[in-house]
Structure 1
Amino acid sequence: MRLLYFVNSLTALGGISNITNQKIEWLIIEKGFEIGVIVKKHHVAYEESFNGKLKIYNFGRTYYGLSLFKKFNYGIYFRKFVKNIIKGFKPDICVSLFSSIDFFLLPFIAVKTPKILELHASSIEIIQKSFPFKRIFYKHYRKVVVLNELEKSQYSLNNIEVIPNFISPNNLHLEDLTKRNIIISGGRNDQLKQFDHQISAWNKIYSEFNDWEYHLYIQGSNQDLNRYRSLIDQDCTSLKIFPSVNNFREKLLESSILVITSKSESFSLMILEAFNAYNTVISYKTFSGPLTLLGEGEGVLVDMNDSDQLSENISTLIRNKDLREKLSKKAKEKVSDYSTPSIMGKWVKLFYRVLDESN
C-alpha cells in the first residue's frame, strides 16, 4: 500500500510530529508500506534509512502573514504542487494533519484518491472556530479520525472514527527507578498551556517544601522563557524554567509528579509518557484527554483554572509518597491499552476498509 501524508513538520519537538514519525516508521518496517510525506517546514533527510520506502516532498511555503491576494495564489500553488505529487507518487490513500487553508482544498484535489483527516486539536478549540463552516469540508473526507470517544461525541458526522495515540510500554517497575523530588511539566509556548497557572500554584507553597524542585520545559525564545521567569517569586529558587529538550522522556523517569494545566487537550501523549515513567499526574479537568485518561482514578483531576486547588493537590501528593506510588502503579497498568501494535493495527484495518469502500 502507498500512503501520502500531509504534515507541517516531521522534526518539530511537538507531539504531532513525534507520533507521525512513529506511525510512518512502523508502517514501513512492520507492514512494508511505501510512504510519501509532504511537509511545509525544513526536514532532516533520513529517507535513505528506509530502503526507498520513504519519500519526503518539501512544500516550503506557509500562508501565515500573507495578504488575501497572496493567499489566493498560495492556494493555486498548493493545488498544483499536490496534484503533481499525487500523479507521480500514486498513493492509495492521502492522510492529512493540516488544519489551515490546505485542509479546505485537499478533498477537491485528485478526488478519486480517498482522503483521511486526522484531528489532533480538541473539539472544544475547533468548534469555537467556525465549526459549522468547517463541517461542510469534513464531510468531503472519506474518514475523519479523532483521538477518543468524548471527542467523537462533539461532532455530528457519519464519517468519524476513533483511533487514539500510542506508546511503547516499557518493562520497568517503579522499584527500578530512582525517583527524585521533582515536579515537571512542559510543552510549546502557548496560552492554551497556561504555564503561568503552575508558577502561581508553586509560588503559594514552595516555602513548605525545601527539598522539592519544579521544572518547566517550554518551547520558546529566551525572551518567552524570561517572561515566565519574571512570574516566579523572588525568593523562590526551586522553580526552574528550561528550553524544550528532546529527552523529555528521560526527565519523566527521574521526576515524580507531572502537572498539566492546558485549556484543551484532545489526547495528551505526555500523560501516557508519564504513566509509562510511573509519574503521578495532576491535571485540570480539561476536555477531553485528561478526562479520558485520568477519569478512573489514574491521577488527580483539578477544577479548571483553580490554582488554589492545584496548590493543595500538589501539596497532598508531595506529603504522601504512598498515594503517589498507588496512583502511578494503577496508571502504568493502563499503558498496555495504548501499545503501538494494538493502535497501529486499527490504522491498518481502517486503511484497507477505506480502500474496500472506494472500489
Structure 2
Amino acid sequence: MERIITDKINSLVEEYKYEVTLVTTDQMEKKNFFSLHNNIDVIHLDLDFNSTFNLPLLKKRLEIKKRSILYKKKLEEIIETKQIDICISTGGKELEFLNFLKGNCKKVFESHFSKDYRRQFLVSRSPGLKSEIIGRIRSQQLINQTKKLDKVIVLTQHDLEDWSTSHNNVVQIYNFCSFSSDKIPDYKIKRAIAIGRLDAQKGFDMLIDSWMINKDKLAEWHLDIYGQGEWEDMLKQKIIANKLEQNITLKGVTDNVKTELQNSSLFLFSSRYEGFGLAIIEAMTVGLPVISFDCPQGPSEMVNMHNGFLIELGDLKGFSNAIVKVTSDYELRKKLGETSKINSNKFSKPEIMKSWDLVFKDIINRKNEINH
C-alpha cells in the first residue's frame, strides 16, 4: 500500500500540480522505503499508536483515546493553516473521527481493502466464532464511519457493487503499475516468482503445499518468494519439512520488483483475501502468465483463461495442476504472458491518474458551488 500511495501522490504533485501534504502518525524516525517528491509537505506527528498494541486492554483503550483526541486536534490545525480542500484517509485511526473534523474540507476514504476486510483479517489470523462475531461488528463500524463521507473510493468493480448496497458515495478506481516494461521475458527460464508479506493473508503456506503436491513434476523449476513478515520462520520450516529447499527460496525484500519479475517466466498469487492485488498488475506489465486463487477481491478482474488460470480459493490440487500445466508448456507460457502484457494497458498509470484528477476536480467544484 505504501508504494502505490507514494506513486500516486508523487504523480499528483509532479504531473497534475496539486499541493499535497502527507501526515503520518507512526513514522517514528523510520526512513521512507519509497522516495517522495520534494514538493510534498510531510508532517510526522509521531503519535505512536503502534506502541499501544501490547498494553493491557483498559490502558490500551485509554491511550488510544488520548492519542486520537490529540490526532484530531493536530489534523484540524493542519487543515486550517494550510487551507486543505480534501482530507483523505486510507483507513488509519483518523477514520474514526473523519466525519467530525472541523474545517472547510471534503472528506474521502480511500479503501485499499474489501468492505469486509476487518472480519477477513481477524478470521485469517484466529479462525473461530469469536473472531467471526468481532469481525462482523468491526465491519459494521467501517460502514457506519464512511456512509456520510463525501466520497468512498474503492479498487474493484466487485467492491463498487458491494459498497453500493449500503453507500451512495462510492467511486471505483483501479490501482496502477508504477513502471513500464519493454523487455520481453525469457519464457524458457524455469523460475516462478511470488511477492507479498509473509503472513496469513498472502497464503504462501498454501502455495508451498500446492508445489509439494506435484514436486516431482516441478523438479527442474525454482520458486522464489519475495517479502518479509511474521510467518517467515514457519514458512522456512514448512519448506524444510517438505524437503523443498532446492526448489523454493524465501528471498526477503527486494527494492527492484521489476527486475525480479523480468527474470521469471511465471507469477503465482496465493492470497486468501485482497483489496486488489497490485503484484498481479506488475507481473502482467512485465508479460508474465499468472496463476491465482479466486480470492475476494481483485484477481477475477485481472486473471482469466487468456492470461493465466484462476483457481477456486483453497483448491490446492487445482492450483498445483495449473502450475504443472504452465511450467510444462513453453508455448502456453508465451501465449499467456503476451496476453497479460496487452491486458495490463487497462491498468496503466496515465489512465488511472486521469480518473483521480477527475474525481478531485469534481469534489472541489462541488465544494466551490456550496461555498458560493
TM bin (shorter chain): 0.7 to 0.9
1:172 maps onto 2:182 in alignment: yes
Deviation at 1:303, TM superposition (A): 1.2
Q: Which residue of 2 aligns with 1:36?
A: 21
Q: Provide the rounded CA distance (Å) in 1 between the counterparts of 2:178 and 2:188.
A: 21
- Within the candidate set 167, 189, 192, 1:157 is matched to 167
Deviation at 1:226, TM superposition (A): 2.7
Count of aligned positions: 339
- Within the candidate set 92, 101, 113, 1:121 is matched to 113
Once the two structures are superposed, residues 274-299 of structure 1 have per-residue CA deviations (whole angstroms, 9 ceiling, x without a partner) of 01111110000112210111146322
Does the CA contact (< 8 Å) of 1:182 and 1:214 recur in 2? Answer: yes
Q: Which residue of 2 aligns with 1:62?
A: 49
Written as runs of structure 1 = structure 2, the 5 A alignment for 1:201-350 is 201-220=210-229, 224-232=231-239, 233-234=242-243, 236-295=245-304, 297-350=306-359
- Within the candidate set 195, 199, 203, 1:194 is matched to 203
Residues 227 and 126 from structure 1, CA distance in 2 versus in 1: closer, same or farther, beyond 3 angstroms? closer
For 1:73, what is the secondary structure of its paired residue? helix
Q: Which residue of 2 aligns with 1:143?
A: 151
Q: Which residue of 1 aligns with 2:76?
A: 83
Once the two structures are superposed, residues 96-150 of structure 1 have per-residue CA deviations (whole angstroms, 9 ceiling, x without a partner) of 1124x32111221125210111000122424654333322221221100001111
Q: Provide the rounded CA distance (Å) in 1 between the counterparts of 2:317 and 2:34.
A: 50
The amino acid across from 1:55 in the alignment is D
Residues 192 and 310 from structure 1, CA distance in 2 versus in 1: closer, same or farther, beyond 3 angstroms? same
Q: Provide the rounded CA distance (Å) in 2 between the counterparts of 1:213 and 1:352.
A: 48
The amino acid across from 2:158 in the alignment is L
The amino acid across from 2:270 in the alignment is T
Does the CA contact (< 8 Å) of 1:179 and 1:255 recur in 2? Answer: no
Q: Provide the rounded CA distance (Å) in 2 between the counterparts of 1:305 and 1:48.
A: 37
Q: Which residue of 1 aligns with 2:104?
A: 112
The amino acid across from 2:12 in the alignment is L
The amino acid across from 1:312 in the alignment is N
Deviation at 1:56, TM superposition (A): 0.4
Does the CA contact (< 8 Å) of 2:110 and 2:152 recur in 1? Answer: yes
For structure 2, the residue ranges without an aligned partner over 5 or more in a row are: 120-134
Q: Provide the rounded CA distance (Å) in 2 between the counterparts of 1:334 and 1:47.
A: 27
Q: Provide the rounded CA distance (Å) in 2 between the counterparts of 1:62 and 1:120.
A: 20
Q: Provide the rounded CA distance (Å) in 2 between the counterparts of 1:229 and 1:274.
A: 24
Residues 192 and 57 from structure 1, CA distance in 2 versus in 1: closer, same or farther, beyond 3 angstroms? same
How does the TM-score come out when normalised to structure 2?
Answer: 0.85
Does the CA contact (< 8 Å) of 1:257 and 1:279 recur in 2? Answer: yes
Q: Provide the rounded CA distance (Å) in 2 between the counterparts of 1:79 and 1:318.
A: 53
Q: Provide the rounded CA distance (Å) in 1 between the counterparts of 2:207 and 2:260.
A: 18
Q: Which moved more, 1:340-349 or 1:118-127?
A: 118-127
Q: Which moved more, 1:165-174 or 1:251-260?
A: 165-174
Deviation at 1:255, TM superposition (A): 0.7
Q: Which moved more, 1:342-351 or 1:197-206?
A: 197-206
Q: Provide the rounded CA distance (Å) in 2 between the counterparts of 1:253 and 1:196.
A: 25
For 1:344, what is the secondary structure of its paired residue? helix
What is the identity percentage for the equivalent residue pairs of Structure 1 and Structure 2? 24
Does the CA contact (< 8 Å) of 1:206 and 1:236 recur in 2? Answer: no
Q: Provide the rounded CA distance (Å) in 1 between the counterparts of 2:316 and 2:229.
A: 23
The amino acid across from 1:115 in the alignment is K
Q: Which residue of 2 aligns with 1:11?
A: none
Once the two structures are superposed, residues 297-339 of structure 1 have per-residue CA deviations (whole angstroms, 9 ceiling, x without a partner) of 3220111111111111101111111111111111111111121
Q: Provide the rounded CA distance (Å) in 1 between the counterparts of 2:237 and 2:211.
A: 14
Does the CA contact (< 8 Å) of 1:124 and 1:264 recur in 2? Answer: no
